Each structure stands twice: as C-alpha cells, then as structure tokens.
Chains A and B, each alone.
Chain A
Amino acid sequence: MPLPTKPSKPDAISMMAALKPAPLAAVPNSPTTKPIAKPKSGARVGTCQCRPFSEGDAEGAEARHRRGGNDTAGAA
C-alpha cells in the first residue's frame, strides 16, 4: 500500500483566492414583483400629469409633483 504523500505547500495565488471576497449570490426575482407592463400605444410615458405652472398658482405644479400630490384635488 503506498504511503500517503504530504500535500504540497499552497502558492501565493491559491492563498490570495482564499482571501478574495466571496462573490455575491445571485438575487432571484421576487415572486411578488410584477413585470412592468408595456405602455399602450400613444400613452404618455414617464411624464407628470400635473398642470403646468401658471401665474397665480402659489404652490405650483412642480411642487405638487415633487410631493406626489394629486393635481386634480385642487390646491388649497
């Protein structure tokens, strides 16, 4: 029966591999995440529906847009 051989010394590269950060595990898509629906043809995509700023509008459409306000509710 052959004698077990002594394992050879690791080189610097294999020890560097031991020190390297572990790769991040792939994150699967959440089952609750719905795929983003394609917009219907002709629909305005990615644009705010707030009224444009006009004279006398104290708050302004942009401010309402920033706070996520509903433009149709009417400014106070």
Chain B
Amino acid sequence: MKTLVIASQKGGVAKTTTTTEMAIAATSAGLATAIIDTDPQATSCFWAEARGRNDIAVASVFPALLPSKLTALEEAGCDLAIIDTPAVSKDTASAAMRHADLVLIPTKPAAFDLKSMLETIEQAQSLGKPYAIMLTMCAPLHGPELNATLARMADLHHEICPVLIHQYVAYPRAQKHGLSVQELDPGGKAAAEMRQLYAYMCRRVGIEAGLLAAPAAA
C-alpha cells in the first residue's frame, strides 16, 4: 500500500479538493483507495456524505490512531491511502507525514502562502519524506504572480509538481454534489489537469498509473 499525504499549514489551498480528486482518479484506475480525514473540519467526510455512494472509503481518524488504521487498511488490501490534513496543525501533519510515500503540498501563488509552504516543507524534510509543491488556485490567465512564484521556488531548489491546478468553477460545482471534476465534466480542463496530477503522483510514489480512463460522466 502507498500513502499519499496532502498537507499545508495554510487553509483554503485545495487540500481536500486534491484529496478527493486523487481518490476518484485512483479508484477509476482500479486501485482500492481510501481517504483518511484527520481534519477536525471533516471536509472530506462531508464530501463523502454529499456523494451518498459507497464507492470510496472515507473516514475521520484521530492522528494517534493513524498507525493502526493504516495497518488495518493494508491488511484489507488497500492500494492507496490518502490522508487529508488540517491547516495550522503541525502535530497532525507530522503524524500523517511519518507514513507518507509522498507529501503533496498545495500552495497558492501568493506571498503569505509561500511562507506557510516553507514551514510544511521543513516538516517533510525533517522526517526525510519525499514531497512536492503543487501550485493551486492559479488564475486561468497566468499573471506575473505565478511567474514570480515559480521563479522563487526554482531559486529554493524545491521539488515542484509540473502540473498547475487552476481556479476553475468546475471544482466547487463538483464538490457541492460530492463528485470530482473528472466525473462532472470528464472532457473539461479541470479534469484534464487532475488526470495529469494523478499520473505525476503515481510516478512519484511508484504506482503503475494503469488505466487513466476518464470516469463516466455523472
């Protein structure tokens, strides 16, 4: 089993969106996938409630129980566990990162977000975990902020996910109904970037991406 952790000390950077989208992409590719929600706001769990189907395992788990729950998932035959973490909780993020095969760090291309990002990177580095910075909420028309952020990250020599995640309206529309953009609008730009992100994640954690067929439209 591989474990993907989505972490950022900053809130509102699309952690849960990334979690649910990666879960749908992995499930669609035939992987047995589970979401572990360690966020007290339980947004992933609310998404699962809105979804109203039993096709993705989503559960709220106390950080202290992560080792035993991950073992139980592995014994049950799970291929990929995705851990959604809360903002502003270094302890929870660290507890999750300890089990990570990859830490994805969503970050908005904005000055304050970059500061929080560096703190999250330090956590991953101190635990010796592979990580990647992922730029999210990018304006569909790339402005100077994005280029400045990319240049700054290149200077810092951090691993950067080559897939940019944009602020498309498809994301909130899909979440409202407990869907992914890959289900809501399989042919859309948001779905395309999520499939690319999934392929990148698979390469990094050592999963064969398998079939990346777009899920059936909802």
Contact = CB atoms under 8 A, between A and B. Distances in A.
Interface of A: 7, 9-20
A19 to B, nearest CB: 4
Contacts of A19: 34, 36, 57, 59, 61, 69, 72-73
A15 B1 CA distance: 13
A18 B79 contact: no
Interface residues of B, number: 20
Interface in B27-63: 30-32, 34, 36, 54-59, 61
Given A18-B76, A19-B61, A12 B36 contact: no
25 contacts: A9-B31, A9-B32, A9-B77, A10-B32, A10-B77, A10-B78, A11-B54, A12-B54, A13-B54, A14-B76, A15-B34, A15-B57, A15-B73, A15-B76, A15-B78, A16-B34, A16-B57, A18-B34, A18-B72, A18-B76, A19-B34, A19-B59, A19-B69, A19-B73, A20-B59
